[in-house]
Amino acid sequence: MAVGLAAIDDFLGPSVPQAQVERVWTGYEHHVAQLAGQGAQLIVLPEKIAVLTPAAAMAVQGRFAAAAASARVWLVLGVGIDEGARSRNLAWLIGPDGTLRATYQKQHRRRANAVSMPAPVSRWSTSRGYQAGLAICKDMHFAELGLRYAHAGADLVLVPSRDFGADAVYAARLSALRGIESGFGMVRVAREGLLSVTDAHGRVLVRGALEPLPGTGVLAYLPPPGTTRTTFQTIGEGGGWLCVALAAAMLLFARADKRTQLNGAGLRARRTREPLV
């Protein structure tokens, strides 16, 4: 399956002039159309392209629903929604018919008024037989969500992200580790980071850096979907607890061995002090 990755390293905050906002949104629409023209069936854009009011978010959703329908592609994009007393960090999945198929909400956030809820498992079937799932950036740094997707049968997870420049390679590799653990490929698109595609064995299929307008678009080809069963899928966090138990046993053994050595040394010392008869 051909997958498109696109990102523009320009954040659309409240103070950005409207003309620049329009240039960035138009740039993303251009990337969607261009990647679809190159054969992409699925296109992933980054996390929190803009922070929007609820009304503005609905307008953007409608705009990219039209873009997805026009290009006949699955489309994933991330936005922040500021509702005043609370904020949400969302990833939208839009189908080739322009309808909203799923909304994923980021779980691991820093802001005090950020809404959090139990991590959903948003999985759907692509036209090429992949069982795909959604996550946002830091959520895929934790093994639990990856394991839940593995148990749900996902063989591909799409991860719109935002990194911090210096941690770009680290964040991409840590996310790819979740795929190795749980047996799925990953498409990760990060502002201030990297565009990366890895398979279920952690092999890097595509990796590219980003730039401001006009941004970067990359086409990647995924191998056919298949079942990759891993040890971690079977034992889960039990492997970690097994390591803890082994470490504790080794410490106890070392202490017992040291006590035996000290007792033996004391016995030899007493024998050397006994008078000869």
pLDDT of residue 69: 98
Q: Which stretches does DSSP call E strand in 26-119? A: 42-44, 51-52, 74-82, 87-94, 100-105
| Global confidence as pTM | 0.82
- Mapping DSSP onto H, E and C, the string for 193-257 reads CEEEEECCCCCEEEEEECCCCCCEEEEEECCCCCCCCCHHHHHCCHHHHHHHHHHHHHHHHHHHH
pLDDT of residue 118: 44
pLDDT of residue 215: 94
Residue 15 CB neighbours (<10 A): 5
pLDDT of residue 112: 45
**What residues does each domain of the chain span?**
2-228, 237-277
Residue 191 CB neighbours (<10 A): 24
pLDDT of residue 240: 73
pLDDT of residue 235: 66
CATH class of the region 2-228 = alpha beta
Q: Which stretches does DSSP call E strand in 21-99? A: 42-44, 51-52, 74-82, 87-94
pLDDT of residue 156: 92
pLDDT of residue 244: 86
Which residue is listed with tokens 């939208």?
92
List Cα–Cα distances, 86 to 39, 207, 253, in angstroms.
39, 35, 53
Q: Rounded to an integer, what distance in angstroms lies between the CA atom of residue 31 and that of residue 217?
A: 6
Over its length of 277 residues, how does the chain's per-residue pLDDT go in tens digits?
899 999 999 999 888 999 999 999 999 999 999 999 999 999 999 999 999 999 999 999 999 999 999 999 999 999 999 988 889 999 999 999 999 999 999 987 665 444 444 445 565 666 567 888 999 999 999 888 888 888 888 889 999 999 988 889 999 999 999 999 888 999 999 999 999 999 999 899 999 888 889 999 999 999 887 667 776 666 666 667 778 888 988 888 888 766 776 666 555 555 555 555 4
- Mapping DSSP onto H, E and C, the string for 166-194 reads CCHHHHHHHHHHHHHHHCCEEEEEEECCE
* 3-state DSSP assignment of residue 76: strand
pLDDT of residue 164: 87
Pick from 168, 207, 170, 166: nearest CA to 186: 207
Q: Rounded to an integer, what distance in angstroms lies between the CA atom of residue 21 and that of residue 27?
A: 10
